[in-house]
Amino acid sequence: MPRPWSSVPIEDNGEPLIALPAELLRLEPHPYVALGAPYGQAGCPFRLRQGVVERLLQAQAALQQQQHGWRLAVFDAWRPLAVQAFMVEHALREECRARGVDPQRPGPEREAVAAEVGRFWAPPSADPATPPPHSTGAAVDLTLAGPAGALLAMGGAIDAIGAISEPEHYASAAAEDPSSPAANWHRRRHLLQEVMVAAGLSQHPNEWWHFSHGDQLWAWRSGAAQACYGRWTGAGSGEGTVAVGNGIS
């Protein structure tokens, strides 16, 4: 199913993909590498376009002005298409297992699971006009960590499928009881959103952890006429040698 941002034109500015600096906390071992995702010769996943990295550092500085010692903790950054395809299939299998659905058996139950997974995982499209956000080097999945580096509770795991992952999921509960755990989770989600948006990134409408700058989703949410980052196929990407699956489509 096409995304609302799929028709946004792309004019890649050629900005390089660079490694995240030491100031930004990485969640290691990388979760998808640990699952066996096929990065191959594609290189380190903890890389983003230079302009995105600069904005992450701005967001972290703003965060620390409000909460001394807190840091952004990066869960995932750039993904080659083969990894996107692998993770879409993994998410589909896991969600089918959780719901007692056979992922190999076509039918309405499997299609319902695929539709729900598709709200969170972009198809691994090889079409240059519709790249997955993470394959552009523009998108990052991240959370908050305290002064000692311990992750802070956000009311739901990164990559969780369902309403719990929506940025405003706890808004009503927070309004009803400002002293509740739900209110605390809502405040943290809102703080993450606040510092990221102030630094020029846009949030995925279904995911509290996903932000991007320069891709089609960002252009759609910010009103920009075009995206400035397409799928990264530069030196060391390994994109020309991997096989891409069909995902859930």
- Catalytic residue numbers read 207
> Is the separation of the CB atoms in 208 and 154 below 8 Å?
yes
Give residues with Cβ within 8 angstroms of 159, minimum separation 6: 91, 120, 141
For the chain, list the strands marked E by DSSP.
Answer: 17-19, 25-26, 47-49, 71-76, 139-145, 202-203, 210-212
**Distance (Å, whole) CA 97 – CA 117:** 13
3-class state of residue 40 by DSSP: helix
Q: Which residues lie across from 19 on neighbouring strands?
A: 47
**Distance (Å, whole) CA 179 – CA 9:** 45
> Please, where are the H alpha helices in 67-180?
81-99, 108-118, 171-176
**Phi, psi (rounded to 5 degrees) for 28:** -120, 150
